[in-house]
């Protein structure tokens, strides 16, 4: 008889994992929903040095221009005429008022100005050019 009682006590001592798993899944969903996704340009460029460089906090969209004049957005090469259309699609996914241009120090000034004009046509209020402090 004592043997049966001890067996029943061991059965009752099991830990229920369901509430803990529920909390973990709720936290996972919370972190996925609240995460801010940054649209990287996709390439590294040699940025020019700037004495008055400051860090932008709200930047989500980056446009890179390499030394050959190629424009990179969202990890792909984009034609200069298509920059505004691509930017509008990125802004539809994640609205922002700041776009950062990462131009190579050897990039042509004309390409950078064309990209800035294309950004202005989409209604973005602030354009920043990345530099190295």
Q: What is the pLDDT of residue 122?
A: 87
Q: Residues 123, 73: one domain?
A: yes
Q: List pLDDT tens digits, range 22-72.
A: 999 999 998 888 776 665 666 666 666 666 666 666 667 888 898 888 899
Cα 106 versus chain centre, distance: 26
- 50, part of any domain: no
Higher pLDDT, residue 110 or 6: 110
- d(CA 95, CA 84) in angstroms, rounded, equals 14
Q: Confirm if 42 and 72 have CB atoms less than 8 A apart.
A: yes
Q: Residues 79, 116: one domain?
A: yes
Range of the domain at 14: 2-34
Query: pLDDT above 70 covers what percent of the chain?
Result: 71
């Amino acid at each position: 008889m004592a043997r049966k009682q001890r067996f029943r006590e061991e059965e009752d001592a099991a830990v229920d994992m369901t509430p803990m798993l529920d909390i973990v899944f709720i936290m996972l969903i919370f972190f996925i929903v609240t995460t801010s996704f940054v649209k990287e340009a996709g390439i590294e460029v040699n940025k020019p040095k700037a004495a008055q460089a400051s860090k932008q906090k709200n930047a989500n969209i980056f446009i890179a221009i390499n030394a050959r004049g190629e424009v990179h957005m969202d990890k792909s090469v984009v034609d200069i005429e298509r920059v505004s259309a691509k930017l509008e699609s990125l802004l539809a996914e994640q609205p922002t008022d700041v776009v950062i241009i990462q131009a190579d120090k050897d990039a042509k000034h004309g390409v950078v100005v064309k990209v800035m004009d294309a950004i202005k046509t989409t209604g973005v209020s602030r354009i920043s050019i990345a530099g190295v402090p």
